[in-house]
Amino acid sequence: MAEKVIYAMYDDDDVLKDGAKKLVAKGVKVADVFSPFPIHGIDPIIGVKQTRLGIMAFLYGLTGTALATLGMNYFMIHDWPMNIGGKPNDTYLDNVLSFIPITFEFTVLCAAHGMAITYLLLNKTLPGMPATNPDPRTTDDKFVMELRLSDNNQFSEVELMSMLNETGVIEVDQKDIH
Amino acid sequence: MHKEAAIREPLILGHKTYHEITDDVCKPIEDKAPRMWYILFGIALIIGLYGVGCIFYLLGTGIGVWGLNKTIGWAWDITNFVWWVGIGHAGTLISAVLLLFRQKWRMAINRSAEAMTIFAVFMAGLFPLIHMGRLWVGYWTLPLPNHFGSLWVNFNSPLLWDVFAISTYLSVSLVFWYIGLIPDFATIRDRVKKPIPKKMYSILSFGWSGRAKHWNRFELVSLVLAGVATPLVFSVHSIVSFDFATSVIPGWHTTIFPPYFVAGAVFSGFAMVQTLLLVMRKAMKLEAYIHTRHVEYMNIVIMVTGSIVGTAYITELFISWYSGVEYEAYAFFNRATGPYWWAYWSMMTCNVISPQLMWFRKLRRSLLFTFIISIVVNIGMWFERYVIIVTSIHRDYLPSSWSMHYPSHIDLGVYVGTIGLFFVFFLLFARFFPVLALNELKTILKSSGESYKNDTAPVHPYFAKHGHSHGHDDHDNTHNH
């Protein structure tokens, strides 16, 4: 079913933020905001939760630490122990000092790449994906607020429009999306 | 919005709007390249190709074509490797460490500094690979199951740590750089009209649309990447220094190496950033974004790290005598007064004396002076590595094996070739990529733009009518208090 969406365009991040605050205070639900750069402080206003990617990065990092530890324990202690410069290698703990640098590097490698890949997948930003910003100017100097009629059943379209017009919009556009 | 003291120098000069920032950064990409670009690119390409030719000759003939001998088994190759890795330290330091410290001036320079880092690490990585002589078995450095050979790689060896350190550093820097580039590519995608560039930038921008949730993730990912990249910056050159420090060669076997190498790396990396940016800001008309204040900040970093390096040289010298180990003492005595005295004193002049001139405010704010010093510093840092490597090994324990190193023309060709290749990459970057993090710059416009700081920027008509807003409130407060 097609859904009616209102795109309200602003030419300043602070005007949009001020507008969003007023609309939300009246009970309007703002579905999304498109902006050329992060607008600080917009997230709590429109109800965007803080991302949990940081926790993911930590888990990827732990995975890296574990893999490096298990790997080096197998390669250097169990599978093919070697006497290298007389460094003690009877147990993993004897030899662990030599393994710190690689454990660290591998932890960082896994944390960084794991998080980056998760980030791209979550955003659905991958090579060849189509852009979904409503107007090409939103990557330059315009800021667009997206309102969905279905999210705001308590207001009529006309009411929403009149409320928007009080917030300093420069253009309002309507679209049916599927 | 962040409050910023009114007396702090603005980071963006004059009055700019968001749209003007986009224009200023995208113009050079959309316009035809100036004739100078083609000339520089042509020169860099010829030099780079000559270097590639030398590398092929080397691979076909063997590393005997270098000026190495039985005593001096490591010379220009490893010198160039360490030199390039060192240069590759500034980018991630600027983008990661300065992000953690919330230094806003990084935003004008981080993109190109990171690009420089990545290309410099490419060049660095080339040297150990060709030094293997058999480039095609380079993958033996990876921990592969031992049916490829008879053994696992040696995890006790700093050379293997280096493989992990450099490849992690390179790939994490690349990812960090690219994640920042995605929104800027999207800006170019939405601006260009011609079909082929449009297609290219739309692939490069990964379909970025600038949703609030995506920006929320973007900021966190940048912060966490900065957090993990920061220890990485310090670890890479520490591990490079382990290549020397864990050996028992007099002059190499010193515990001071890791911090001293890291400081030296930051020192030469910032110098290279200065060399490149001073030209780029002029050529691409970015003087409003990268101005005297930015140059001064970088000069202060050069001065501090240069002083650390100078202190390390003198400490090393003192300790070699104080240790009472004759071999150690001789290694340093020989550096300063032996046949390679000229390399030692070039290093001392370029690295110890020149950064001290930056104590003078007039000098560190002079662009021409900065440009000259930035080149002097990198010459000095090349000599530092040459001194450490060649002069420490050219006089062996046995006087009968004492020797000298004379570089062959292939040594020279490969080295100069990597400089050519580096500039090929950097010029391509400057031509096709947004050289400033333009969307990040927009976030500091209202707090650090000159017209906003001195209140000459026009007040938005909406706020002129309604009066209040958080952004402008904060701004006014800064002035009232």
pLDDT in tens, A149-161: 888 778 788 888 8
CB within 8 Å of B5: residues ≥ 6 apart = B478
Task: Note the pLDDT of residue B51.
Answer: 94
Supply the pLDDT for residue B30.
83
Q: How far apart are CA B250 and CA B256, in angstroms?
A: 13
Tokens of A51: 């991302």
Count of CB atoms situated within 10 Å of the CB of B339: 12
Indicate yes or no: CB of B202 within 8 angstroms of CB of A131.
yes
B248 interface with A at CB cutoff 8 Å: no
- Chain B environment of A122 (Cβ under 8 Å): 217
The C-alpha atoms of residue A20 and residue B396 are separated, in whole angstroms, by 75
Q: Which of B181, B214, B159, B248 is nearest to B25 (CA)?
A: B181
Q: Which residues of A touch B237 (CB under 8 A)?
A: none
Residue of A nearest to B189 (CA): A136
What span, in angstroms and rounded, lies between the C-alpha atoms of B29 and B162?
37
Q: What is the pTM of this model?
A: 0.90
Which amino acid is located at B476 in the chain? Answer: D
Kindly state whether B439 is in contact with chain A, defined as any CB-CB distance less than 8 angstroms: yes
C-beta separation of B85 from B124 below 8 A: yes
Q: Which residue in the set B143, B209, B471 is minimally distant from A133, CB to CB?
A: B209
Cβ neighbours of B206 in A, within 8 Å: 120, 125-127, 129
Phi/psi at B365 (nearest 5 deg)?
Answer: -100, 5
Burial of B319 (0-12, 13-18, 19+ CB in 10 A): middle
Contact call for residues A8 and A157 (beta carbons, < 8 A)? no
Closest CA of chain A from B374, distance in Å: 31
Question: Using a CB-CB distance cutoff of 8 angstroms, which residues of chain A are in contact with residue B142?
Answer: none
Which of A17, A95, A129, A139 to mutate against chain B (most B CBs within 10 Å)? A139
Distance from CA of B60 to the nearest CA of A (A): 33
The predicted-structure confidence for A109-132, as pLDDT tens digits, reads as follows 999 999 999 999 988 888 888 888
Q: For chain A, say whether B173 makes contact (Cβ under 8 Å).
A: no
Residue B464 near chain A (CB below 8 Å): no
Structure tokens at B302: 């050069």
CA distance A101 to chain B (A): 6
Cβ neighbours of A127 (radius 10 Å): 11
Tell me the C-alpha distance between B133 and B361, whole Å.
49
C-alpha R_g of chain B:
24
Looking at residue B300, what is its pLDDT?
92
Which residues are B188's β-sheet partners? none
Place of tokens 């030099």: B47
Q: Find tokens 């859904």 and name the residue.
A: A3
- Residue A20: list chain B partners with CB under 8 A: none
Handedness of CA B102, B104, B108, B113 (dihedral sign): negative
Question: Strands A143-148, A30-34: parallel, antiparallel or unpaired by DSSP?
Answer: antiparallel
Test B471 with A120 for CB contact under 8 angstroms.
no
Q: Residue B461 and residue B449: Cα distance in Å, rounded? A: 19
- The mean pLDDT value of chain A amounts to 86
Chain A interface includes B156 (CB < 8 A): yes
Specify the pairing of strand A3-10 against strand A143-148.
Answer: antiparallel
Bridge partners of A174, per DSSP, are A6
A14·B472 Cβ contact <8 A: yes
Contact A139 B469 (CB under 8 A): no
Contact A122 B217 (CB under 8 A): yes
pLDDT computed for residue B3 by the predictor: 61
Q: Which of A49, A89, A105 is best to mutate for the B interface (most B CBs within 10 A)?
A: A105
Q: Are A105 and B165 in contact (CB under 8 A)?
A: yes
The ipTM assigned to this model is 0.90
Which of B154, B204, B228 shows the shortest C-beta gap to A112? B228
- Cβ neighbours of residue B211 under 8 Å, at least 6 residues apart? A32, A33, A34, A132
Q: Which residue positions in chain B have pLDDT lower than 50? A: 1, 469-481
Q: What is the pLDDT of residues A41-72, one digit of tens each?
A: 888 888 888 888 889 999 999 999 999 999 98
DSSP secondary structure of A47-116? TPPPP-HHHHHHHHHHHHHHHHHHHHIIIIIIIS----TT---SSHHHHHHHHHHHHHHHHHHHHHHHHH
A170 Ramachandran zone, left/alpha/beta (phi>0; psi -120 to 50)? alpha
Give pLDDT, residue B2.
53
